[in-house]
A = this chain, B = another copy of it.
């Protein structure tokens, strides 16, 4: 294979963006070969506005069976990600999946098993990993030069959504349609980055508010506390209800403090690590000298294009992905743990009991206000899940 024939499943906001990127030559390993959307209006729109030279399909099965595509980007609502991703894999089609990988971790485990079995390249659209600030934070944390993490704190409350957003689709913010609220729809990137940079915690205790700021049934306000294996602690706070939210991510380490806020990364390096200082210092009010250092960012931020190009490189030349499919499970595990903690009203330890989580989720799906769509979606989900057994 010299050039990858790409199919795009779902030509909504994201599918349209990716189609334009490939058509515009931003991803030279790919040629756009086909688009599929179950909505005929979207297909008509795409024929007129994107390309009339490619194949169009009304069902995913037809596109996957067509023999016209080598790789597919899945950009449909997230309950359907696993089902379609696995259908691709079974045909030997490489897959790139929008976040979140699925709604519950069992699905993602299944996707990874299938990708391995069928030997396809399975990537995740974690485009925020390409951000120069988060790449640098990860590099600094993982390098070990600043010792261990002591505290992580992410106030990510700038996900404001008005009621009109939730009213724009009957599947939005429903247990049966999305499987959750701000954690499932808005925060998958930050949950992924949090664990990508700081590692996975061992305990989670979350407090959630359901429909606190909107007329919705799922959570729109979350405060989660975590503990890491080394005893460090962390907090993650998010909402879609704050009129003017914040995005401030602070990491306190043995020998530095990192703060990402807005477009800036501040690095305060200590002249001596805290464990060493406290062991050797004799002054009761002694304090540690710090200096602000230039983190030397490369300034590159290729986002979605970067993820797609890396995926192409992985398919054609075995180059590294931005985020392999197996990494889709970590951020989702954090979200699942937060739900389970709040539903059970207690601290949960990792790994969580995925069966209990699934049962608790399904209780909520069963009484979801999106009644008319429940059977169909739920049936799909159950079927695909059954495939993991």
Interface residues, chain A, with chain B CB atoms under 8 Å away? 150-151, 153, 155, 157, 160-165, 167-168, 205, 207, 209, 212-214, 221, 223, 225, 227, 231, 233, 235, 237, 239, 241-246, 248, 250, 252, 254-257, 259, 268, 270, 273-274, 277-279, 281-288, 290
24 pairs from A and B in contact (CB 8 Å cutoff): A151-B239, A153-B237, A160-B287, A160-B288, A162-B277, A162-B287, A164-B278, A164-B282, A164-B284, A164-B286, A165-B285, A167-B284, A205-B207, A221-B233, A223-B225, A225-B225, A242-B252, A243-B254, A243-B273, A243-B277, A244-B252, A244-B270, A246-B250, A246-B259
Contact between A155 and B157, CB atoms less than 8 A apart: no
Contact between B255 and A270, CB atoms less than 8 A apart: no
Which single member of B155, B248, B278 contacts A162 (CB below 8 Å)?
B278
Nearest-neighbor residue (CB-CB) of A252 within chain B = B242
Contact between B288 and A250, CB atoms less than 8 A apart: no
Residues of chain B lying within 8 A (CB to CB) of residue A155: 153, 250
Residues of chain B lying within 8 A (CB to CB) of residue A162: 277-278, 281, 283-284, 286-287
Contact between B233 and A209, CB atoms less than 8 A apart: yes
In the bound complex, what is the Cα–Cα distance between A362 and B356 (angstroms)?
Answer: 39
Residues of chain B lying within 8 A (CB to CB) of residue A214: 278
Smallest CB separation, A170 vs chain B (Å): 13
Residues of chain B lying within 8 A (CB to CB) of residue A167: 284
Residues of chain B lying within 8 A (CB to CB) of residue A273: 243
Nearest-neighbor residue (CB-CB) of A283 within chain B = B164
Nearest 7 A/B pairs, CB to CB: A243-B274, A165-B284, A168-B284, A162-B278, A243-B288, A244-B257, A163-B278
Residues of chain B lying within 8 A (CB to CB) of residue A233: 207, 209, 221, 223
Contact between B235 and A237, CB atoms less than 8 A apart: yes
In the bound complex, what is the Cα–Cα distance between A295 and B259 (angstroms)?
Answer: 25
In the bound complex, what is the Cα–Cα distance between A255 and B250 (angstroms)?
Answer: 26
Smallest CB separation, A188 vs chain B (Å): 18
Residues of chain B lying within 8 A (CB to CB) of residue A286: 162, 164-165
Contact between B252 and A157, CB atoms less than 8 A apart: yes
Contact between A242 and B164, CB atoms less than 8 A apart: no
Smallest CB separation, A190 vs chain B (Å): 16
Smallest CB separation, A193 vs chain B (Å): 19
Smallest CB separation, A76 vs chain B (Å): 18
Nearest-neighbor residue (CB-CB) of A290 within chain B = B244
In the bound complex, what is the Cα–Cα distance between A153 and B235 (angstroms)?
Answer: 11
In the bound complex, what is the Cα–Cα distance between A211 and B157 (angstroms)?
Answer: 32
In the bound complex, what is the Cα–Cα distance between A209 and B151 (angstroms)?
Answer: 12
Nearest-neighbor residue (CB-CB) of A153 within chain B = B155
Contact between B164 and A157, CB atoms less than 8 A apart: no
Residues of chain B lying within 8 A (CB to CB) of residue A241: 150, 274
Nearest-neighbor residue (CB-CB) of A243 within chain B = B274
Residues of chain B lying within 8 A (CB to CB) of residue A250: 155, 246
